[in-house]
Amino acid sequence: MNRIVERFSELKARREKGLVVYIGAGDPHLDATRDLALALEEAGVDVLELGVPFSDPLADGVVNQLAAQRGLASGTTPRKVLETVAAIRQRSGLPLVLYIYFNLVHRLGMERFIAESAAAGVDGLLILDLPPEESGPYDALMKQHGLCPIYLAAPTTPPERLELIARHGAGFIYYVSREGVTGMQDQVAQNLPEKIAQIRAHTALPIAVGFGISSPEQARIAATHADAVVVGSAIVNQVAAGGSSPDLAQKVAAFTRPLALAIKGGPRPL
């Protein structure tokens, strides 16, 4: 079974909510990415999104754009990200999703990229600028290689498109709780319960809510409505602050652990 599907099945059986975390691959370098993945798993993260650095990350706010710049500056490429995934796989079964722009997939060749991702140990792809209406053979190739194609839903997504997203997606639906780009916000969107209910009317897939969640209290509130909470920019900020510190992974894990506690309501390993 796909690790993402298996993890959400386990969470449902335990009546727990999940924590999905985003970091920029190669920020500040790929050895740190490997160490961060292992530390975040110990801190209670259920799914890790690795942002593959790209020169024009149009869906991202300034925090994640700067992470992409640092990743590019460290020499990170899609193939090197896959090598890092393989290194993580030697020590961890943490579900891994590549957060990526289609240009990078197209450059290598879609079939080849999907096959190499599966071989490295990737569990899903979230291609920011590939809508289900234009996915063509993508979904079939993903299914063939046992990977989850993850799609975004937004506050402005009409019901007929929610149905399309649900039909094409697997693993979970990523609900973008705010219009615009990624980034930290002061509070959870007020219409979250209503929007989550609208998505649930079209799918039994888990729903992970993200874009703007940056504190344990915000995570706790979001988790009362969704199956999982996605935290990105707040974690990336911690990586940026830690820089090349030798205890970077431990510092980021210490920041992340209260988020997991808020969502799951139980003790996490120190």
Catalytic residues: 49, 60
Q: Report CA Rg, the chain.
A: 17
Q: The whole model's pTM is what?
A: 0.94
Token match 């190669």: residue?
26
The two three-digit tokens of residue 92, written as one number? 């961890």
What is the predicted pLDDT for the residue at 189? 62
Helix, strand, coil percent values for the chain (each to nearest 5): 50, 15, 40
The two three-digit tokens of residue 172, written as one number? 């979970």
**Domains, the chain:** 3-263 (3.20.20.70)
Residues in the chain where the model's pLDDT stays below 50: 180-185, 267-270
What is the predicted pLDDT for the residue at 269? 39
Residue 135 DSSP class: -
What is the predicted pLDDT for the residue at 178? 61
What is the predicted pLDDT for the residue at 265? 72
The two three-digit tokens of residue 83, written as one number? 């090598």
**Residue 191 CA, distance from chain mean position:** 22
Q: Give the rounded percent of residues in the chain with a pLDDT score beyond 70.
A: 94
